[in-house]
Amino acid sequence: MAQTWRIVTYNTWKCDGLYRERLNWMGQALADLSPDIVCLQEAFDCPSGSADTVGHLASVLGMESEVLAAREKTRRFEGKEQLSKSNLAILSNRPMTRQDNVKLADHNEDQDRWAMQVILSATPGTSLRVVNTHLSHLRGKKGDTLRRIQAQQLHARLNTASRETVVFCGDLNEEWESPNLSALHKRDWLKPNHEQEGATFLGARDDGTCTQRRIDTIQVTKGSKRSVKMRQRFSALNMPVGPDREYPSDHAAVVVDLEFRSQDEEGA
């Protein structure tokens, strides 16, 4: 029997804005999507401030989590300078096995960039590798060069094993079509049956002052061309919910629905 998995990627915007309120907004909106896998970027972790974005969302969603702790620095949180992290994380309602992290090229103005990976069993005899990353935020020539190198590094690590589906998620700080990401374009990515286009970088609130861009993505490739289909890809968590038309995060989520078929069904 075919299985449908819903996968979400979402930049949670660290501790900025109305953090405690945003946690609740994010948790409710993600729960409404009923995801199977959630990839998070900028997941805030501040033990001294009793703040843990991954822990909160994993609890709300009833999911297990794997975390790549990164980008430790002092940030202003609830009126105090506090040592904290901006982590990558993958949440899942199915068992997952951690794979090697990928250290990405960085710059003295933007350090500690990574990609993390997990493996899950899809249908019998097939596996799903989920890759979650967050590329450099630098603008101008420095950022262009850095993201080009980071894309090349990721392309080199995205070799698909036989009967393995790879789901590539994250905040690229660049539109997918950008020449800076051309190394990633060499992959044979699935096209969705239905796609709803829309910006994924929104700004803090819906006030018309932010230049919105589509810089977050989920792309899917696979070893067996008949084992998986992308039913749809769309944006979510992109409606203002706060009293001053705040969004749950300054990014929207990207959602894909994947349909997996067993080996027997492929030949039927």
| Dihedral in degrees, nearest 10, Cα atoms 17, 40, 199, 130 | 180
| Phi, psi torsion values for 176, nearest 5 degrees | -55, -35
pLDDT digits (tens, 9 = 90+) for 139-161: 999 999 999 999 999 999 887 66
| Helical axes 19-33 vs 53-61, angle rounded to 10° | 30
Residue 66 lies in domain:
3-267
Residue pLDDT tens, the chain, 268 long: 688 999 999 999 999 999 999 999 999 999 999 999 999 999 999 999 899 999 999 999 999 999 999 999 999 999 999 999 999 999 999 999 999 999 999 999 999 999 999 999 887 777 899 999 999 999 999 999 999 999 999 999 887 666 789 999 999 999 999 999 999 999 889 999 999 989 999 999 999 999 999 999 999 987 655 678 999 999 999 999 999 999 999 999 999 999 987 655 554 4
The string of DSSP letters for 3-14 reads EEEEEEEEE--T
How many domains does the chain fold into? 1
To 5 degrees, how large is the angle CA 155–CA 159–CA 163?
140
The span from the CA of 208 to the CA of 230, in Å, is: 33
For the entire predicted model, the pTM comes to 0.95
- Neighbouring C-beta atoms of residue 137, cutoff 10 Å: 15
To 5 degrees, how large is the angle CA 226–CA 262–CA 132?
70
The string of DSSP letters for the chain reads --EEEEEEEEE--TT-SSHHHHHHHHHHHHHHH--SEEEEEEEEEEGGGTEEHHHHHHHHHT-EEEEE----EEEEETTEEEEEEEEEEEEESS--EE---EEPP-BTTB---EEEEEEEE-STT-EEEEEEEE-----HHHHHHHHHHHHHHHHHH-PPPTTEEEEEEEE-SS-TT-GGGTTGGGS-PPPPSEE----SB--SBSSS-S--B--EEEEEEESSTTSEEEEEEEEES-S--STTSB-SSSB-EEEEEEEE--HHHHH-
pLDDT digits (tens, 9 = 90+) for 38-89: 999 999 999 998 999 999 999 999 999 999 999 999 999 999 999 999 999 9
- For residue 13, the domain's CATH number is 3.60.10.10
The span from the CA of 138 to the CA of 144, in Å, is: 8
